[in-house]
Amino acid sequence: MNNKAAILVVEDDAAVRNLMALTLETQGYQYRVARTGGEALIEITTHQPDIMLLDLGLPDMEGIEIIRKVRGWSAMPIIVISARSEDSDKVEALDAGADDYLTKPFSVDELLARLRVALRRLHAQPAGGESAVYENGSLRIDYAAGCAYLNGSEIHLTPIEYKLLCLLAKNTGKVLTHNYILKEIWGNYTASDVGSLRVFMAMLRKKLQTGSDDQPFIQTHIGIGYRMLKTEKGTEDTP
Ligand code: CA
């Protein structure tokens, strides 16, 4: 995969910013940096980056404000970077439209892995309209028929499991929060429904087990939500 995507690094901490810049440079990514929210907004409008790495605590504004502004016109992948370990900050950022998060301190490998997921998401975005069939490694969803298949065999899903699967598939690469999923699937919900969601997800994950793949399709983010991952196998087939 070439690293032609343009990345915007928004970070006021010089040490973290330099580490990210060095990592991106070493990997051949094009990148620009912003030290404040104001600089970030100028960069976004003038240079239109493909992916943004965004620190949540900036000197002039909260990173979440930037997410809300940018989501008004752009679907670019946003990876939030936060020193704060509280899950509520990450959940708030994800609900505002961020795709993923990294908690400081993070390793270079972690940063690069998250970038690869974001790049796959960027390249997977359909140019126009939604495709009728979803393919991800051995998983296949035929939206028109309302059926899902694993290695060619139909998976027997309850209506809710199927809706959950489609929601995750349509947001492949993006971490979906419990609240977001509950709202999309059930409309009305209470905090206690997270327990039911967990049960449905456990059933769905079990039905998606292939036995051979070591990486599950659905990643669990404890205290936050779930994400459908694009399998490496599947990406080789895409032109
Ligand atoms: Ca900061």
Return the C-alpha torsion angle 169, 173, 174, 177, nearest 10: 70
pTM: 0.84
Q: If you measure from the C-alpha of residue 33 to the centroid of ligand 1, how many angstroms do you get, rounded to a whole number? A: 13
Q: Are residues 84 and 164 in the same domain?
A: no
Whether the pLDDT of residue 187 is over 70: the answer is: yes
Q: If you measure from the C-alpha of residue 104 to the centroid of ligand 1, how many angstroms do you get, rounded to a whole number? A: 10
Q: If you measure from the C-alpha of residue 117 to the centroid of ligand 1, how many angstroms do you get, rounded to a whole number? A: 23
| Share of the chain residues as helix, strand and coil, in percent rounded to the nearest 5 | 40, 20, 35
Q: Are residues 205 and 112 in the same domain?
A: no
Select from 98, 124, 150 the last residue of a domain. Answer: 124
Q: Cis check for the bond before 105: say yes or no (omega within 30 of 0).
A: yes
Q: If you measure from the C-alpha of residue 59 to the centroid of ligand 1, how many angstroms do you get, rounded to a whole number? A: 7
Question: 67 lies in a domain?
Answer: yes
Q: If you measure from the C-alpha of residue 193 to the centroid of ligand 1, how many angstroms do you get, rounded to a whole number? A: 34
Q: If you measure from the C-alpha of residue 238 to the centroid of ligand 1, how many angstroms do you get, rounded to a whole number? A: 37
Q: If you measure from the C-alpha of residue 13 to the centroid of ligand 1, how many angstroms do you get, rounded to a whole number? A: 6
Q: Are residues 96 and 178 in the same domain?
A: no
Question: 202 lies in a domain?
Answer: yes
Strand ranges inside the chain, DSSP E: 6-10, 30-34, 51-55, 78-82, 100-103, 133-136, 139-142, 147-150, 153-154, 176-177, 218-221, 225-228
Q: If you measure from the C-alpha of residue 73 to the centroid of ligand 1, how many angstroms do you get, rounded to a whole number? A: 25
Total tally of structural domains belonging to the chain: 2
Per-residue model confidence (pLDDT) at position 214: 63
Residues with CB under 5 A from ligand 1 (ion): 12, 55, 57
b or e along 99-137 (b: 16 or more beta carbons within 10 Å of the residue's beta carbon)? bbbbbeebeeeebeebbbbbbbbbeeeeeeeeeeebbbb
Q: If you measure from the C-alpha of residue 12 to the centroid of ligand 1, how many angstroms do you get, rounded to a whole number? A: 5
Question: 239 lies in a domain?
Answer: no
Question: 103 lies in a domain?
Answer: yes
Q: If you measure from the C-alpha of residue 55 to the centroid of ligand 1, how many angstroms do you get, rounded to a whole number? A: 6
Q: Are residues 39 and 91 in the same domain?
A: yes
Query: Residue 210's pLDDT band (boundaries 50, 70, 90)?
Result: confident
Q: If you measure from the C-alpha of residue 82 to the centroid of ligand 1, how many angstroms do you get, rounded to a whole number? A: 8
Q: Are residues 205 and 119 in the same domain?
A: no
Question: 237 lies in a domain?
Answer: no
Full domain range(s) for residue 26 = 3-124
Question: 159 lies in a domain?
Answer: yes
Tens of pLDDT, residue by residue over 122-147, are 887 655 556 789 999 999 999 999 99
Q: If you measure from the C-alpha of residue 7 to the centroid of ligand 1, how many angstroms do you get, rounded to a whole number? A: 18
Tens of pLDDT, residue by residue over 116-125, are 999 988 887 6
Q: If you measure from the C-alpha of residue 166 to the centroid of ligand 1, how many angstroms do you get, rounded to a whole number? A: 36
Question: 208 lies in a domain?
Answer: yes
Q: If you measure from the C-alpha of residue 178 to the centroid of ligand 1, how many angstroms do you get, rounded to a whole number? A: 26
CATH of the domain at 50: 3.40.50.2300
Per-residue model confidence (pLDDT) at position 235: 43
Which H or E element spans position 88?
helix 87-95
Tens of pLDDT, residue by residue over 90-108, are 999 999 999 999 999 999 9
Select from 66, 99, 124 the last residue of a domain. Answer: 124
Per-residue model confidence (pLDDT) at position 172: 93
Q: Are residues 29 and 89 in the same domain?
A: yes
Q: Are residues 16 and 112 in the same domain?
A: yes
- Contact between 1 and 120 (Cβ < 8 Å): no
More confident of the two residues 160 and 2: 160
Q: Are residues 29 and 98 in the same domain?
A: yes
Q: Are residues 110 and 142 in the same domain?
A: no
Question: 234 lies in a domain?
Answer: no
More confident of the two residues 51 and 190: 51
Amino acid at the residue 120:
R
Select from 67, 95, 124 the last residue of a domain. Answer: 124
Per-residue model confidence (pLDDT) at position 212: 64
Q: If you measure from the C-alpha of residue 111 to the centroid of ligand 1, how many angstroms do you get, rounded to a whole number? A: 17
Per-residue model confidence (pLDDT) at position 234: 44
Mean pLDDT across 200-220? 86
CATH of the domain at 160: 1.10.10.10
Q: If you measure from the C-alpha of residue 116 to the centroid of ligand 1, how many angstroms do you get, rounded to a whole number? A: 23
Tens of pLDDT, residue by residue over 142-184, are 999 999 999 999 999 999 999 999 999 999 999 999 999 999 9
Q: Are residues 23 and 98 in the same domain?
A: yes
Q: Are residues 118 and 163 in the same domain?
A: no
Q: Are residues 148 and 90 in the same domain?
A: no
